[in-house]
Amino acid sequence: MSNDPRLDLAAKASATSGSDTWHSTGVEGVLRPLHLADGPHGLRHQPDEGDHLGIGGSVPSTCFPPAVGLGSTWNPALVRRVGAALGSEASSLGVDVVLGPGMNIKRSPLCGRNFEYVSEDPHVTARIAAALVEGIQSQGVGACVKHFAANNQETDRHRVSAEVDDRTLREIYLPAFEEVIRTTEPAMVMSSYNRLNGTYTSQDPWLLTELLRDEWGFDGVVVSDWGAVVDRVAAVRAGLDLEMPPSGTDHLVVAAVERGELDESVLDTVVERLKRVQERVSTDTSRPLEHEANDALAREAAREALVLLKNEGGALPLAADRSVAVVGEFARTPRYQGGGSSHVVPTKVHSALEEFGTAVEAGTLKSVRFAAGFTLDGTEDPALVEDAVAAAREADTTVLFLGLPDSAESEGYDRTTISLPAPQLELLARVREAGEQVVVVLSNGGVVSVSEWQDRADAVLEGWLLGQAGGAAVVDVLTGAASPSGRLTETIPVRLRDHATYLNFPGENSEVRHGEGVFVGYRHFDTLDVPVAYPFGYGLTYTSFAYSGLEVTPAGGQDGENAWTVSFTVTNTGDRPGQEVAQLYTGVEQDHPTRPVRELRGFAKVALEPGESARIDLPLTGRDLSVWDAGDQRWSLAAGTYTVAVGASSRDLPLRAEITTAGDRYVRKLTKYCTVGEWRTHPIGGPVMEEVIASFPGLDDVPAEMLEMARSLPIITLRTFGLGVTEEMLDLLVDDIEARRQAAVARGEITG
């Protein structure tokens, strides 16, 4: 890294922290201050000093659906357009870097911030987040992926240590970050508040340097989450470029350099990285804000985010001759985003109630009568309930808006239940008794349970948090002006206690053990065949689809024999246009599972007219079938047969095929600390070991259980059994096997 002669030590140190809540520090002639702003689904641009908790006001900006909604669209092309709109608003407002997307895995449905995250699955998280980054960055604005890493709860978030084993990190919590960083090159990465296996992520050299930069090739800026830095010097040394907001501790960085505890070249590197980001971004404040067009886009995205869970007796779409009772305060006062730093002041808000009125005017519905039914602050008002019951009694259909109030979920704290508020469920029971047909529309950022009440509804439409145009989008889908096409990115459990994390969330004594390992979300439910209310990937439409013609063909390419194309046909077999989300899962047969029975590896959303078919090709790679080998720190593809399944959800997979592969032909190095069992099954060491064993007289008579016991002995222990084996003999054996292994690698017979 070149040392810029225009910068003295103090100036370099000042660049490693911001100048205020939203700006990096400028250095005359070298660095211009970068303007950063939340957030993931709309801008929280605070032109004045501002705050970072979403308490103070901000300039009105389009509030797109939060990540929970964008994820449910399963539509990266649409999300890219949302990203571009977000980027263009940022550019107009002079915001250089948008602090999003959030891409942590929804480990538990109780995480208060799940509305800001995409999914319980890394593949869909990666695809949606990548699309958002590409869109934002297409406008000359930087994106900042967050919160790196394993920030899966809000409880004790500034101190908690997520205790996660290596394989689980690599297979569940890191892959989305890895893919987005490798494929979209975001300008920034935000380290999280929490500790990971005991070390604060903002001062973890393995995470911020070895993995992120050396292995994944990230060359942008790592910024701390706001207020996350505990030990300033340790953070800079570990690879954290920018502390935000500034804690006024630059002098500690200077002192550490002067004392020889921190190499000054580390600061030069920070300056180079900041320069690189500033060269990549260029905002244009003369650009007009396109609030009208972006509101229309927010409505389109919200429509695709809606997930139709249940639709009996053709309850939906609502027929034009229906009189409708619209019940529930959420219809008039929509809950369309979550609380905390992502909170946006919208440019306008569409309520479902006002859109119902428009539908009546347009003749799409016969009549609408509104009753609030409940209050949002939880105070009970029997008169509201009676009014709602009366409205339901008169109407052909009651559309009941239920959900979680703002106070139930937010950044900064977790939920303790996934139930809807009891007064709302009592209202549903009363309305059910009075009304002919009941359609429930939900507003919630994290999953809510449906099992205890859904029998009382003819139809259930999961509306998540849909952004400022959500109310309009809901009416579009209820009336059939648009078809529902969202799918679940997280499983809806029957009971909270069925969830894999139930006993390990949110931990205690500032420690949370990820005891379920890789069995997160559907990976747990499907592997153990636990009944669920609605599975991962699920969602109904107003039409039907059929799957046929599965073919798996080798694709060649870089990965040679370990790359395939999975092709199949989807046909719209109903009588309305609709969109299907075709999903590809892989798995491996196991007697006692150590891997999930199936994992999402691809998907495609297709729009089809009635009777129309589409042929879909999805790529599959060796990495998709691999597990992380924590021993040798590498992805491992074992030889064998893998299953490929295609369909409409993790539990509706009509097409199945098998792939057989020779694997990656990796042969590991043997040492004297490997066990007898590992030696005997090793392709090079095994035959030699058999010869050695055969040379010992009397071993034939050793009882089978003793031989079995010996399997777990590291061979170094053989010195102590009076067999005449010495450490020197073992060293010679190890060297010999290693020489043979290296020769086989050189001949291309194996990899190693």
Catalytic residue list: 225
Of 261, 240, 242, 221, which is closest to residue 16 (Cα–Cα)?
242
Backbone phi and psi for residue 661, each to the nearest 5 degrees, phi listed first:
-135, 150
Of 538, 79, 101, 76, which is closest to residue 297 (Cα–Cα)?
79
Q: In whole angstroms, how close is the CB of 634 to ligand BGC at the nearest point?
A: 32
CB closer to ligand BGC out of 16 and 483: 16
Residue 141, CB half-sphere, CA atoms under 13 Å: how many? Answer: 34
Residue listed under structure tokens 């006002």 = 354
Residue 563, CB half-sphere, CA atoms under 13 Å: how many? Answer: 7
CB closer to ligand BGC out of 188 and 667: 188
Strand order in the sheet with 578-587: 599-608, 578-587, 640-647, 655-661
Q: Which x/- pattern, by CB under 6 A, does the window 593-632 give for ligand BGC? A: ----------------------------------------
In this structure, are residues 266 and 237 in contact, taking their beta carbons and an 8 Å threshold?
yes
Burial class (CB in 10 A: 0-12, 13-18, 19+), 176: buried
Say which amino acid occupies 289. Answer: L
17 binds ligand BGC, rule: CB under 6 A: no
Q: In whole angstroms, how close is the CB of 340 to ligand BGC at the nearest point?
A: 7
CB closer to ligand BGC out of 105 and 710: 105
C-alpha gyration radius of the chain: 29
In this structure, are residues 682 and 667 in contact, taking their beta carbons and an 8 Å threshold?
yes
Distance of alpha carbon 400 from alpha carbon 325, whole angstroms: 8
Tokens of 262: 């921190």
CB closer to ligand BGC out of 341 and 449: 341
Distance of alpha carbon 583 from alpha carbon 563, whole angstroms: 18
Considering only 12, 17, 35, 38, the residue that binds ligand BGC (CB under 6 A) is 38
Residue 725, CB half-sphere, CA atoms under 13 Å: how many? Answer: 17
Q: In whole angstroms, how close is the CB of 59 to ligand BGC at the nearest point?
A: 15
Distance of alpha carbon 406 from alpha carbon 69, whole angstroms: 16
Going by their DSSP bridges, the two strands 307-311 and 323-327 should be labelled as: unpaired
Considering only 90, 99, 460, 494, the residue that binds ligand BGC (CB under 6 A) is 99
CB closer to ligand BGC out of 204 and 599: 204
CB closer to ligand BGC out of 226 and 522: 226
Q: In whole angstroms, how close is the CB of 156 to ligand BGC at the nearest point?
A: 14
Q: Write out the binding residues for ligand BGC, residues 320-359 only, by CB under 6 A.
A: 341
CB closer to ligand BGC out of 22 and 547: 22
CB closer to ligand BGC out of 125 and 398: 125
Q: Which x/- pattern, by CB under 6 A, does the window 48-77 give for ligand BGC? A: ----x-------------------------
- DSSP E strands in 260-301: the ranges are none
Of 93, 115, 116, 119, which is closest to residue 106 (Cα–Cα)?
119
Instruction: Annotate 58-109 with three-state secondary structure.
Output: CCCCCCCCCHHHHHHCCCHHHHHHHHHHHHHHHHHCCCCEECCCECCCCCCC
CB closer to ligand BGC out of 52 and 499: 52
89 binds ligand BGC, rule: CB under 6 A: no
Say which amino acid occupies 747. Answer: R
Q: In whole angstroms, how close is the CB of 734 to ligand BGC at the nearest point?
A: 50
In this structure, are residues 169 and 212 in contact, taking their beta carbons and an 8 Å threshold?
no
Distance of alpha carbon 360 from alpha carbon 229, whole angstroms: 55
Distance of alpha carbon 123 from alpha carbon 172, whole angstroms: 9
Of 348, 356, 351, which is closest to residue 294 (Cα–Cα)?
348
CB closer to ligand BGC out of 38 and 163: 38
Q: Write out the binding residues for ligand BGC, residues 451-490 only, by CB under 6 A.
A: none
Tokens of 275: 């320069």
Give the dihedral sign, CA 230/234/235/238: negative
Q: In whole angstroms, how close is the CB of 341 to ligand BGC at the nearest point?
A: 3
| Cα-based angle 531, 533, 536 (whole degrees, multiple of 5) | 90
Count, in order, helices (H) and strands (E) of the chain.
22, 26
In this structure, are residues 278 and 32 in contact, taking their beta carbons and an 8 Å threshold?
yes
Q: In whole angstroms, how close is the CB of 414 to ligand BGC at the nearest point?
A: 14
Say which amino acid occupies 241. Answer: D
User: 557 CB contacts (<8 Å, ≥6 apart)?
Assistant: 563
Of 194, 63, 179, which is closest to residue 125 (Cα–Cα)?
179
CB closer to ligand BGC out of 51 and 551: 51
CB closer to ligand BGC out of 39 and 521: 39
Considering only 146, 232, 335, 350, the residue that binds ligand BGC (CB under 6 A) is 146
The H or E element containing residue 658 is strand 655-661
225 binds ligand BGC, rule: CB under 6 A: yes
CB closer to ligand BGC out of 100 and 421: 100
Max CA distance (Å), the chain: 97
User: 748 CB contacts (<8 Å, ≥6 apart)?
Assistant: none
Distances (CA, A) of 629 to 139, 415, 636: 40, 35, 6
Query: How many chain residues are in contact with ligand BGC, going by CB under 6 A?
Result: 8
226 binds ligand BGC, rule: CB under 6 A: yes
Contact residues for ligand BGC, defined by CB under 6 A: 38-39, 52, 99, 146, 225-226, 341
